[in-house]
Amino acid sequence: MSQLPDGGLSLEDLRTQVDEIDERIHTALMERARAEAGIQAARKAAGGGALLFHPERDADLMRQMVERHRGDLPLATVEHLWRDLICACTNLEAATAVHLDGSAELIEMLDLARFYFGFSVDLVPAADAADVVGAVAASEDDLGLVALTDRAELPWWRGLSQAGALVRARLPFVVLDERPADLPALVLAKADSMIDNADIAVYDARWSDILPGRLMDQGIEVLSFFRSASGVDALLAISGELNEEDVRKACADAGAEPDVLKPVGGYAAPIDGDPEVSFAAEDEEPQE
């Protein structure tokens, strides 16, 4: 390659270098697609199905990506490329659809779904979060995206169950300041069994009175709640290291033990892609 007087490469040489890098990237992409096809074939041979969504594996890949990320290319750009690649390779074998919560803004739900699942997946708008739960439960491998709001229009999480749809991920996973596709949401999917190794466990909790006022003091996050004439329903998130009895005690210490407490999933703890952003402080507990 020729050099300019100041020792740098010429524009033509830099373009040649970019072409060579692009070729290596393309070759690596094809190698990865073949390796992913081999994984899916091995799953089928073992009696399993081809799955688009592997929440624990996806979380590990994203953590590795954040740890090794260096340079000026925005982390959100790399994350989107990585997720699109993962889903595109997996969806070669898995005909999976993603059902979207119709109670949220459609454009925001589409942005979120495309950012995390790419353009090779079918997106199916649903009427509301309860319809998403039902669609996932009735399918083989479909996923659901439900917008996360402090005060829900209905206690949609009552339909979650071990035999049907469960909470399997929380978005955004990589928390960045002013990131694209930043709508808070939960990913619903089926699971072979109740999630017992997730960083964060999720519970359907119901009180016949008001919501206890000191839940956050006990390490419990209220993801969403619904108030009715008969009391209050809440979707709770708490450390996955605690068992159901521990969670009941934590609620009692916060003010009142729930009348109903049912595990409805779990997810990997979101990671901070920006040291100045604190995920734990993002949501405040609803005031009663």
3-state secondary structure of 204: strand
Q: What's the pLDDT score for residue 282? A: 42
User: Rounded to a whole number, what is the largest CA-CA distance in the chain?
Assistant: 80
> What is the residue-wise DSSP string for 72-100?
SS-HHHHHHHHHHHHHHHHTTT---EEEE
Q: What's the pLDDT score for residue 276? A: 47
Calculate Rg over the CA atoms of the chain.
Answer: 22
Q: What is the mean pLDDT of each run of 10 residues along the chain (288 residues)?
A: 62 92 93 83 71 78 88 88 80 79 95 90 94 95 94 96 94 89 94 75 95 94 95 96 95 95 95 59 46
Q: What's the pLDDT score for residue 56? A: 83
Which residue in this structure is represented by tokens 């589409």?
A: 110
Q: What's the pLDDT score for residue 41? A: 78
Q: What's the pLDDT score for residue 62? A: 87
Q: What's the pLDDT score for residue 52? A: 64
Helices (H), 182-262: 244-254
Which residue in this structure is represented by tokens 């889903």?
A: 87
Token couple for 160: 């979650």
Q: What's the pLDDT score for residue 195? A: 64
Q: What's the pLDDT score for residue 227? A: 95
Q: What's the pLDDT score for residue 279? A: 39
Token couple for 69: 């990320």
∠ CA 181-185-190 to the nearest 5 degrees?
A: 125
Q: What's the pLDDT score for residue 153? A: 94
pLDDT digits (tens, 9 = 90+) for 25-70: 999 989 988 887 887 778 777 766 656 677 888 888 889 988 888 8
Q: What's the pLDDT score for residue 192? A: 67
Contacts 24+ apart (CB under 8 A), 37-42: 37/89, 37/92, 37/93, 40/90, 40/92, 40/93, 40/94, 41/93
